[in-house]
C-alpha cells in the first residue's frame, strides 16, 4: 500500500494534477495489482465496493456490482441461474462459481450500460469470474483478493493494462466525510445507515403480504439506490437489480427509465428473441446492440435494405407491439425501491406495467393517500421506510 497515488488526470484530460490520498497521512486502503486506474475508476471502485459489502452483509450471499459513471448499471447476489438467464447473459458455456454467478447477473441486467464497466466483488475473485470477465469489455475490478489463476487471467486482459485493485477489508472510513466544490469544502456525516428487513415493517397498504424473496429483492434495490446518483428508482427480481433509473430530476422519469430497462431485461427472455438467428461471427456487444434494436419499435427501419444480413443468417420476423405487450403482461413478482417518496400515483401506474408487486419507499408526500390508493387498486404491497437515500 502507498500513502498516495498520482493519477493521469481528473474527470477530464485537462484537469491536472490529480491524485488520491488520505487526509490523515495514513496509507491508502487499496493496492493496485495491475494497470493504472484513473480518477473516475476510483470513484466507481469505492462506491461499488461499499455497495457489494453491504449487500453481502445484508443477505449473507456473495455479491457483485457493475458500475458506470458513479452509478450501478446492475447489482446482484449469488443465486442459481436459470438456463434462460444463462443464455441471455452469454454465460451458458461457462462454469459459474457463486461469485461468478453474482457478477453474471449484475452485468446481465443492463448489458448495454455495463459495456466498459467497473466491477466490484464482495468475495475473492476466482478463476471462473476472471474467465467471464476476460471476454467482456470492462475497465477494471475491485475485490478483497484474487486467486493466483484469476490474477494471471486478468493481467492478460486489455494487452496487460486491465485495472486490478485489491481492497483492504479491515479499512473503516472516518465518520465525517468531506468534498470540495468550487473551492468550498462540504462536510457531512457518512451515510452508514444499515438497510435490512427492519426497514420494511411499516406496510401501509391493504395487502401486507411480503414473501422472503420480495424482502430480499427490496433490500437489494434499497442498497443499490444508496449508491446511485439521485433521483433514482430500482426494480429488482430474483436477487438482482433489473432496471436502475439514475440521476433524473423527476421521480416519474426515474420510474419510466428504470421500468423501460426492466422491460428490456424481460423481453430478452421472450422465446422469439432467444431464437434470433445470429451469425456465428457476431461479437457479444454487437449482439446486445442488435437485440436492443430488435426489441425497439424501430426494427424494420434500422434493419431494412439488407442491413440485417450483417447480423443474421436470415431476416427474423419483427416482434410486434402486440407480442411485446402480451409477453410483458406475464412479468410478475417484481420489487421496486425508490430513494425518495413518490409524489403521485402515476409512478405506481407505470411500475405496475413492469410487473411490480412490492414497493419500498420513504413515504412523507402530501399525496401519500393517493399513492397508497393506487397500490390498493392493484393489490401491491408497499412499505414506508421513513428513510431517504439521496446520493450525490
Question: What are the tens digits of pLDDT across the range 316-349?
Answer: 888 999 999 999 999 999 999 999 999 999 999 9
DSSP letters for 183-240: TEEEEEE------SGGGG--B-SS-----HHHHHHHHHHHHHHHTSPSSEEEEEETTE
Contact in structure between 274 and 266 (CB atoms under 8 Å): no
Q: φ and ψ at 284, to 5 degrees?
A: -60, -45
- Give mean pLDDT, residues 84-112: 96
pLDDT of residue 102: 98
Q: Sheet with 163-167: list strands edge to edge.
A: 30-34, 163-167, 138-143, 117-121, 63-68, 71-77, 240-246, 232-237, 334-338, 356-361, 381-384
4-172 and 177-267+328-384 agree in CATH topology: yes
pLDDT of residue 284: 87
Summarize pLDDT for 242-264 with one digit per residue, the tens: 999 999 999 999 999 999 999 99
- Give mean pLDDT, residues 20-25: 90
**Please, which pLDDT band fits residue 60 given cuts at 50, 70 and 90?**
very high
Q: Which residues pair with 32 in a beta bridge?
A: 165
Q: Which H or E run contains 179?
A: strand 176-181
pLDDT of residue 315: 85
Summarize pLDDT for 158-209 with one digit per residue, the tens: 999 999 999 999 999 999 999 999 999 999 999 999 999 999 999 999 999 9
CA–chain centroid gap for 100, Å, is 15
Report the C-alpha gap between 164 and 142 in whole angstroms.
Answer: 6
CATH of 177-267+328-384, one of 3.20.80.10, 3.40.140.20, 3.40.50.10800, 1.20.58.220: 3.40.140.20
Contact in structure between 269 and 360 (CB atoms under 8 Å): no
- Give mean pLDDT, residues 122-131: 98
Report the C-alpha gap between 49 and 145 in whole angstroms.
Answer: 13
Report the C-alpha gap between 17 and 89 in whole angstroms.
Answer: 40
Is the confidence at residue 302, as pLDDT, over 70? Answer: no
Report the C-alpha gap between 83 and 77 in whole angstroms.
Answer: 17
Q: Report the percentage of the chain scoring pLDDT > 90.
A: 88
- With a CB cutoff of 8 Å and minimum separation 6, the contacts of 38 are 7, 8, 9
Q: Across all residues in the chain, what is the average pLDDT? A: 94
**What is the chain's percent helix, strand, coil content, to nearest 5?**
35, 20, 40
**Please, which pLDDT band fits residue 2 given cuts at 50, 70 and 90?**
confident
What is the pTM assigned to this prediction? 0.95
pLDDT of residue 303: 63
- Give mean pLDDT, residues 274-288: 91
- Give mean pLDDT, residues 1-11: 89
Question: Greater confidence, 337 or 297?
Answer: 337
**Please, which pLDDT band fits residue 298 given cuts at 50, 70 and 90?**
confident
Superfamily of domain 4-172, CATH level 4? AICAR transformylase, duplication domain (3.40.140.20)
pLDDT of residue 139: 97
Strands 138-143 and 117-121: parallel
pLDDT of residue 304: 62
Is the confidence at residue 121, as pLDDT, over 70? Answer: yes
Report the C-alpha gap between 253 and 233 in whole angstroms.
Answer: 9
Q: Which H or E run contains 334?
A: strand 334-338
What's the grid cell of residue 266?
Answer: 424481460
Domain boundaries, the chain: 4-172, 177-267+328-384, 271-318
SS3 label, residue 2: coil
Report the C-alpha gap between 308 and 198 in whole angstroms.
Answer: 52
Helices (H) and strands (E) in the chain, counts: 13, 15
Summarize pLDDT for 99-119 with one digit per residue, the tens: 999 999 999 999 999 999 999
DSSP letters for 267-309: HTTSHHHHT--B-TT--HHHHHHHHHHHHSTTHHHHTTTTGGG
Count CB neighbours of 149 within 10 A: 14
Show which residues are catalytic: 68-69, 231, 392
Is the confidence at residue 148, as pLDDT, over 80? Answer: yes
- With a CB cutoff of 8 Å and minimum separation 6, the contacts of 295 are 264, 267, 268, 273, 319, 324
Tell me the C-alpha to C-alpha distance, in Å, between residue 249 and each of 210, 236, 345, 349. 30, 22, 17, 19
pLDDT of residue 307: 75
Summarize pLDDT for 212-247 with one digit per residue, the tens: 999 999 999 999 999 999 999 999 999 999 999 999
Amino acid at each position: 500500500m502507498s500513502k498516495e497515488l498520482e493519477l493521469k488526470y481528473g474527470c477530464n484530460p485537462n484537469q491536472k494534477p490529480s491524485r488520491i490520498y488520505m487526509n490523515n497521512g495514513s496509507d491508502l486502503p487499496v493496492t493496485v495489482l495491475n494497470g493504472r486506474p484513473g480518477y473516475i475508476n476510483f470513484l466507481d471502485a469505492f462506491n461499488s465496493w461499499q455497495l457489494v459489502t453491504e449487500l453481502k452483509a445484508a443477505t449473507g450471499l456473495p455479491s457483485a456490482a457493475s458500475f458506470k459513471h458513479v452509478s450501478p448499471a446492475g447489482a446482484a447476489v449469488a443465486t442459481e441461474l436459470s438456463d434462460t438467464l444463462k443464455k441471455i447473459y452469454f454465460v451458458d458455456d461457462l462454469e459459474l462459481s457463486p461469485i461468478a454467478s453474482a457478477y453474471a447477473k449484475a452485468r446481465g441486467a443492463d448489458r448495454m450500460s455495463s459495456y466498459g464497466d467497473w466491477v466490484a466483488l464482495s468475495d475473492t475473485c476466482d478463476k471462473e469470474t476472471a474467465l467471464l470477465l476476460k471476454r467482456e469489455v470492462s475497465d477494471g475490478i475491485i475485490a478483497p483478493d484474487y486467486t493466483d489463476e484469476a490474477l494471471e487471467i486478468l493481467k492478460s486482459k486489455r494487452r496487460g493494462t486491465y485495472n486490478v485493485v485489491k481492497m483492504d477489508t479491515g479499512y473503516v472510513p472516518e465518520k465525517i466525510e468531506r468534498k470540495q466544490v468550487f473551492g468550498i469544502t462540504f462536510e457531512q456525516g457518512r451515510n452508514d445507515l444499515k438497510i435490512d428487513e427492519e426497514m420494511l415493517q411499516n406496510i401501509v397498504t391493504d395487502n401486507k403480504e411480503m414473501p422472503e424473496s420480495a424482502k430480499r429483492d427490496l433490500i437489494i434495490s434499497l442498497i443499490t439506490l444508496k449508491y446511485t446518483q439521485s433521483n433514482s428508482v430500482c426494480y429488482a427480481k430474483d436477487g438482482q437489480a433489473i432496471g436502475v433509473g439514475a440521476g433524473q430530476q423527476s421521480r416519474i422519469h426515474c420510474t419510466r427509465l428504470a421500468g423501460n430497462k426492466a422491460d428490456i431485461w424481460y423481453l430478452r427472455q421472450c422465446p422469439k428473441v432467444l431464437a434470433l438467428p445470429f451469425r456465428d461471427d457476431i461479437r457479444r456487444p454487437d449482439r446486445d446492440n442488435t437485440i436492443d434494436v430488435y426489441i425497439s419499435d424501430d426494427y424494420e427501419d434500422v434493419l431494412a435494405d439488407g442491413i440485417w444480413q450483417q447480423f443474421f443468417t436470415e431476416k427474423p420476423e419483427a416482434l410486434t407491439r402486440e407480442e411485446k405487450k402480451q409477453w410483458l403482461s406475464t412479468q410478475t413478482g417484481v420489487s421496486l425501491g425508490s430513494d425518495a417518496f413518490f409524489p403521485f400515483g402515476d409512478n405506481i401506474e407505470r411500475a405496475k406495467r413492469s410487473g411490480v408487486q412490492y414497493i419500498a419507499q420513504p413515504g412523507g408526500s402530501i399525496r401519500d393517500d393517493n399513492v397508497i390508493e393506487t397500490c390498493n387498486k392493484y393489490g401491491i404491497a408497499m412499505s414506508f421506510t421513513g428513510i431517504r437515500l439521496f446520493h450525490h
